[in-house]
Each structure stands twice: as C-alpha cells, then as structure tokens.
C-alpha cells in the first residue's frame, strides 16, 4: 500500500465539551468541525495541527467501541489513521493477503467525507489502525 501521510490521531474522551478548553485555550488549537458519526456511535470534534488532524471521539452510546475503550481504562490516543493513496480497498486486500486481521472487510463511511476501514490492534503491534481516503 502507499501511505501518503498521517490523516489524524483519534483521541478518546468522555466529553468533548469538557476537554475542548485544554486543546483550544492551552494548546491554542482551533476546533473547526463537530460531526456525529451515527454508524460508529461517536460524536467527533476536529482540530488541525499543520497537515495532521486530531479527532476527539466522544461515545454517544454505551455500545460504542470508544465507550468500551474508556470503560476498560483506555485513555488518550485511541487510533492512528493513515491516508492511503492507492485506495482503502486495495490496502485491505494487501493486508488480508499478509494475514493481518481486518475489522472492516470493506470500507465504510467515516467523518469528514472519508472512506475508512480498521485493522485489528492484535495484528498491528497494538495500535488500532485506520486506513482512509476521501470519498469520490
């Protein structure tokens, strides 16, 4: 696969409202979008750091993957998202061939008009990994 950049870091939080003052007032970043991704049961807030984005993830349901992560004591960085130039489908096929465990066998719609797919952290040195590309 051809990774062009880190698109974003996903950061799990209990409440976007509670943590935004840290990111905006202390770090001086600006939240430019808030979007709910119903499919993933999360509310997201985006801030830019140069070309890389931070995606704050607040669960909207106890069944959300992010809610489970927080419940089990997970904090902070939840996933790393890589932009793939040759497409998520192609990247997934290559990962599958190499025996990497896929969470998503086909891409699905994520925030910011991206197609996304996750690789299981058990196959990716413990880092929940997202592959993404802009929707066409």
- Which spans of this chain sit near ligand CMX (rule: CB under 6 A)? 10, 37, 40, 42, 55, 57, 65-66, 68-69, 72, 78-79, 103, 110-111, 118, 120-121, 126, 128
Query: Which residue number places its CB atom closest to ligand CMX?
Result: 65
Between 25 and 105, whose beta carbon lies closer to ligand CMX? 105
Between 30 and 75, whose beta carbon lies closer to ligand CMX? 75
Provide the edge-to-edge strand list for the sheet that holds 108-109. Answer: 31-37, 42-49, 52-59, 3-12, 76-84, 129-134, 114-119, 108-109
Between 13 and 37, whose beta carbon lies closer to ligand CMX? 37
CA distance 12 to 56: 6
CA distance 77 to 105: 24
Provide, rounded to whole angstroms, the least separation between the CB of residue 122 and ligand CMX. Answer: 6
**Six token digits for residue 55:** 């995606």
| φ/ψ of residue 126, rounded to 5 | 85, 5
Provide, rounded to whole angstroms, the least separation between the CB of residue 73 and ligand CMX. Answer: 9
Provide, rounded to whole angstroms, the least separation between the CB of residue 127 and ligand CMX. Answer: 6
Between 13 and 128, whose beta carbon lies closer to ligand CMX? 128
Between 21 and 73, whose beta carbon lies closer to ligand CMX? 73
- Strand ranges for the chain from DSSP E: 3-12, 31-37, 42-49, 52-59, 76-84, 108-109, 114-119, 129-134
């Amino acid at each position: 696969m051809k990774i062009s950049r880190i698109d974003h870091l996903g950061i799990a939080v209990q409440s976007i409202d509670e943590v935004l003052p840290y990111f905006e007032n202390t770090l001086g970043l600006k939240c430019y979008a808030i979007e709910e991704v119903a499919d993933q049961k999360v509310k997201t807030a985006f801030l830019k750091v140069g070309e890389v984005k931070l995606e704050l993830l607040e669960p909207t349901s106890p069944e959300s993957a992010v809610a489970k992560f927080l419940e089990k004591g997970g904090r902070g960085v939840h996933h790393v998202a890589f932009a793939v130039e040759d497409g998520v489908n192609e990247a997934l096929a290559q990962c599958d061939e190499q025996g990497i465990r896929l969470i998503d066998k086909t891409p699905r719609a994520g925030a910011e008009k991206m197609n996304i797919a996750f690789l299981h952290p058990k196959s990716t040195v413990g880092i929940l990994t997202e592959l993404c590309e802009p929707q066409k």
